[in-house]
Amino acid sequence: MERAFQEVHLFTWNYADHDLACLADFPDSRTFYSATIHKPGNIASVLYLSTCNRIEIYIETAQRKNSLELAELKEMFKDTPAHKGIFSHVPVYKRGLESVRHFFQVSAGLKSMALGETQITGQIKRDFNHAFEKGLISPFFNSLVQKIFECQKKIRTQTDIGRNPVSLVSLLEKEMVAMNNDQPLNLKAAAIGGTGDMSEKVFRYFLNKNISRFVIIRHDSSRNLPESFQNMVEIEKAKRNHLEIIFTSWDELWHNQTGYNFEVLVTATHAEKPILDEEKISLLKESHFLSQNAIIADLGIPHNVNTEGMDVETCRLVNLDRLLKQSKINKNLRGMHLNEALPIIEKAIHVFWMDYLYTKNPELVNTVLTRVDQESRNEWSDLVSGPLKNITEKQKRILMDYMKKQERRALRTHKELFVDMLTTGEIEKASANLQ
């Protein structure tokens, strides 16, 4: 198996290996895929994946390559919206089985800041669909991704990760409850900064908590909303008669005279410089836009709140740095669930690769099938001429039917073929033929 998937390469920038601020130099997937992407002739597939805490580029080369150099990646993406991030920050590089195993784990939420979170699957499906529509996905890579989706569903249903899902927003809620002396927040209204992916998640989460009054703060309130955010607002307004959503801008906010007294402000907007600091937060409290004990949650990349000289506890601020610490605690507590999921992934990878070998090596497969069948016949002959020579014809038919059923079941689960090909070295032979 170590020789499998040698054409699959991964370049990743993520919260575990990089400063989260570097992700601000990369476009979101909507911006990336809206540009014209040219796929070189020696590249079979390109998948650009953008989430709240990782950027990943999966590339399938048309031929086996010992490695895909960073210089080649830069050349490939120099005219795309991702060029700034790629040229400015060194990625972690993985290849072959390591990159595919990583992809399976990311899809299942095992690599997420909140272990087992479910939103990552939707983000992968979104970006995969964009890439597929752009003609950037080969049949092989399409089959691989479908197997990844199938595997993550199995993990959700067969492990405690699926029965106890968490998300970055649920970690945020946990921190806010801790700030509230471990008492439920019982929020009726909330202010949200931004309309990007993370702001959309926060909005949905608060809706599920039956919050019905929102102020959404943007850089420019006159601009059209992102399509996905606009669709969500229209759907929710149609479902909820008492839902109130007001849009404003950060500039308008400083002149706000409406006494909302929000108990929570979550900001996840894209800005090159911090939007808030201790002085501005005090102004929002003085104008009664925020209550005196309001909790500020900064989920922006880079940070939306400048903490220099700030007493974070007094200002009741939760930011990604704090959530990252909570994430590590959460992963330690849920470590045994991670161990439940990993064997499911390994099995899925083996089954996928065996299916692929079957498809690409029909002669080899037929040879093995013929040999297995002949060995079964020989075994049967030995039985009826030896220990079973005195049984009746009816008993022989029953036993033969049973053996055939067992053989078909073994073939269906790949077990018999896999063991046979592995012990005879034919898996390595088939892998070499593909490469």
44-56 pLDDT, tens digit each: 999 999 987 899 9
Count of structural domains within the chain: 3
Report which of 202, 51, 235 is spatially closest to residue 128, judged by C-alpha positions.
51
* Total H helices, total E strands in the chain: 18, 10
- Give yes or no: residues 274 and 196 share one domain: yes
The pair of structure tokens assigned to 299 is 């989920």
Structural domain span for residue 146:
8-165
- Give yes or no: residues 295 and 367 share one domain: no
Q: What CATH number does residue 284 fall under? A: 3.40.50.720
- Give yes or no: residues 190 and 148 share one domain: no
* Within a domain: 284: yes
Report which of 330, 334, 15 is spatially closest to residue 162, judged by C-alpha positions.
334
The pLDDT tens digits for 362-387 are: 776 677 667 767 777 787 788 778 87
- pLDDT for the residue numbered 328: 66
- pLDDT for the residue numbered 143: 94
- Give yes or no: residues 237 and 188 share one domain: yes
- pLDDT for the residue numbered 133: 94
- pLDDT for the residue numbered 53: 84
What are the respective helix, strand and coil percentages of the chain, to the nearest 5?
Answer: 50, 15, 35
- Give yes or no: residues 147 and 232 share one domain: no
Residues 6 or more apart in contact with residue 261 via CB below 8 angstroms:
288, 289, 290, 291
- pLDDT for the residue numbered 181: 83
- Give yes or no: residues 148 and 192 share one domain: no
pTM for the full model?
A: 0.69
- Give yes or no: residues 152 and 179 share one domain: no
For the residues of 185-230, what is the DSSP string, one character each? ---SEEEEE--SHHHHHHHHHHHHTT--EEEEEES-TTSPPPHHHH
Mean pLDDT per 10-residue segment, the chain (435 residues): 81 88 86 88 93 92 84 91 92 94 92 78 93 94 95 87 68 84 85 90 89 92 87 91 91 83 91 89 92 91 88 85 72 66 89 80 71 76 78 78 66 48 48 48
* Within a domain: 344: no
- pLDDT for the residue numbered 409: 58
Q: Which of 303, 324, 345 is the last residue of a domain?
A: 324
Report the mean per-residue pLDDT for the chain: 83
